Amino acid sequence: MPLKKSISGFRGTIGGKAGDNLTPEDIVTNVAGYGAWLLKSGAAPRVVIGRDGRPSGPVVTALTAATLQCLGIDVIDCDFATTPTVEMAVVFHQAGGGIILSASHNPKEYNALKLLNSKGEFISAIDGADLMAMAAEGDITYAQVDDLGTIIRDTTALDQHIKAVLEHPLVEVEAIRKAGFTTVLDAVNSVGAISIPPLCEALGVSCEVINGELNGQFAHNPEPQPQYLGELMEQVKKSGADLGIAVDPDVDRLALVGPGGRWIGEEYTLAAVADYVLSKDPGPVVSNLSSSRVVADVAASYGQEYQASAVGEVNVVEKMKAIGAVIGGEGNGGIIDPKLHYGRDSLIGLALVLSHMATSGKTINELRDGYPHYEMIKDKKEVDKTYDLDAAFDRVRAKFPDVKSNDIDGLKLDFPDGWVHLRASNTEPIVRVYAEAGTAARAQELADGIKVVL
């Protein structure tokens, strides 16, 4: 995969030629740009880093840490850590920023540098452009020998993260403990294996783990979608568990499976959490344009404002702050609870789902049945560097001139019985084609009708 630079950071496949992939030269160049930007901003010369389970993690960590040290920046290394754990550790340590070494849902040959500011939030597009310019210019001054940064090992970041979840005002710890829930976790051979089980233990929840060896050799496609989670669904059914839990390699996305092996899905994770939060603390709700309509329906059922943002965690967070949202996130299973921190977090997502189940006395299947039913398909069109996306969007508009459209992020078409959202991926050379309708067949029909025009 060509090296991809965006608000998501720097991402690519390991190996190949410099400038084309995520090679050692590219890692050093871009980390140096980030470090120089951080120092220029006046932030504390201290950066938190952490990695998921990928085989390239140790090498990427070493290159990242050494580059920061050479700039005179101290490094706090959390080693294996979830994305939300690193985000929170930035605040715990009052660091100037953080770098998460994870390519999220991408296969094991990928890795990425995901960049955080001093609030433990993804840097803005403006800041990202600034640091990329600094990296490209290469006009960076490194520290003298007596001013090199140090490395500090942090072995407590996850414990602090879990403690904060347990102290969250809407997490009903005692009710969850009394409920005696049983769960099955598919840890997809990454850091979910060392983060979700201790949270469950603290909540008195039994947690059986599959694909729990932390080696980054993902047992299946690591994206938490039903076509890849057959083993989890079967084990939930076989064991009679109350809940199946699926996370991606860096544990910022949460998908659910109900009793009997029923797929609840990542889109309904945010709906269930929003339902619970709004029942306790009414207020505005935000999700992105590619998220299910069910989130807006839940907000409306409480008489609360709903707004959609552009896709991308930083965009959701910006919109949440602007309208004072009490809960938000992305339909890919990313829960953002501002009472904890402004970042997608499967640990708080799981704790709030369990609180909802414990206090309502309902199974996750019963909760799911209480929400409007939609089916979403997540399709894509592979493209190359010559592909003209603007021209493609013009063709789509011309084909459907009477359909309401929205172009704040790609192109979204709202049909009477569903919608289709088209946008270039921030992480892969594809155009994402998401569609939703009352049935999967109709959603696929809508998507196919658009794809032939792209």
Show the 3-state SS of 1-46: CCCEEECCEEEEEECCCECCEECHHHHHHHHHHHHHHHHHHCCCCE
Query: What is residue 4's predicted lDDT score, i.e. its pLDDT?
Result: 80
Q: What is the CATH number of the domain that holds 385?
A: 3.30.310.50
Instruction: Examine the residue annotation and report whether 104 is marked as an active-site residue of this protein.
Output: yes
Residues 71 and 14 in one domain: yes
Residues 12 and 114 in one domain: yes
Query: What is residue 7's predicted lDDT score, i.e. its pLDDT?
Result: 61
| Catalytic residue of the set 56, 104, 118, 290 | 104
- Please check whether residue 115 is in contact with residue 86, taking contact to mean a CB–CB distance below 8 angstroms: no
Of 337, 343, 269, the C-alpha closest to 85 is 343
Of 251, 245, 247, the C-alpha closest to 224 is 247
Residues 150 and 26 in one domain: yes
Query: What is residue 8's predicted lDDT score, i.e. its pLDDT?
Result: 64
> For the chain, which residues score pLDDT lower than 50?
none
Taking the C-alpha atoms of residue 22 and residue 2, their distance in angstroms, rounded to an integer, is 8
Query: What is residue 380's predicted lDDT score, i.e. its pLDDT?
Result: 93
Q: What is the pLDDT of residues 109-152, one digit of tens each?
A: 999 999 999 999 999 888 888 888 888 887 899 999 999 999 99
Taking the C-alpha atoms of residue 274 and residue 296, their distance in angstroms, rounded to an integer, is 10
Q: Which amino acid is at 168?
A: H
Residues 120 and 236 in one domain: no
Query: What is residue 132's predicted lDDT score, i.e. its pLDDT?
Result: 83
φ, ψ of residue 286 to 5 degrees: the values are -130, 140
Residues 77 and 148 in one domain: yes
Residues 338 and 440 in one domain: no
Of 32, 24, 31, the C-alpha closest to 10 is 31
Residues 178 and 60 in one domain: no
- Please check whether residue 32 is in contact with residue 71, taking contact to mean a CB–CB distance below 8 angstroms: yes
Residues 14 and 114 in one domain: yes
Query: What is residue 2's predicted lDDT score, i.e. its pLDDT?
Result: 65
Query: Residue 236 is part of which domain span?
Result: 161-250+257-262
- Please check whether residue 372 is in contact with residue 440, taking contact to mean a CB–CB distance below 8 angstroms: no
Q: What is the CATH number of the domain that holds 89?
A: 3.40.120.10
Q: What is the pLDDT of residues 416-438, one digit of tens each?
A: 899 999 999 866 789 999 999 99
Domains contained in the chain, number: 4
Query: What is residue 14's predicted lDDT score, i.e. its pLDDT?
Result: 95
CA 308 to mean position of chain CA atoms:
17
- Please check whether residue 152 is in contact with residue 74, taking contact to mean a CB–CB distance below 8 angstroms: yes
- Angle at the Cα of 422 from the Cα atoms of 416 and 426, rounded to 5 degrees: 150
Residues 361 and 344 in one domain: yes
